[in-house]
Amino acid sequence: MHGTSHHLGLDVHDVASIYTKFKPGMVFTVEPGIYIPDEGIGIRLEDDMVIRENGHTNLMANIPIEAEEIEDLMNQ
């Protein structure tokens, strides 16, 4: 129902050619999802990744995603 990733930048859905090589400083969202249309359910998780000289950094690494973690945060 949607792609698994896209560029992030000044515009939320920045666009680049599929032939553009990844390079340090580029930021992408990685957002796998599952959708069950018959039940009207859709869930998508998102990680925002910045490409570094020697790998990548997950900008969302410290964001809670488990239901219990989110509930604990909301009850503080």
Number of compact structural domains in the chain: 1
**47: Cβ–Cβ under 8 A, 6 or more apart, which residues?**
29, 30, 31, 58, 59, 60
Domain encompassing residue 64: 5-74
Composition of the chain by helix, strand, coil, percent to 5: 15, 35, 50
Model's pTM, two decimal places? 0.70
The tens-digit pLDDT sequence of the chain (76 residues) is 677 787 887 766 667 777 888 899 999 889 888 899 999 999 888 899 999 999 999 999 998 888 899 999 999 9
Burial class (CB in 10 A: 0-12, 13-18, 19+), 28: buried
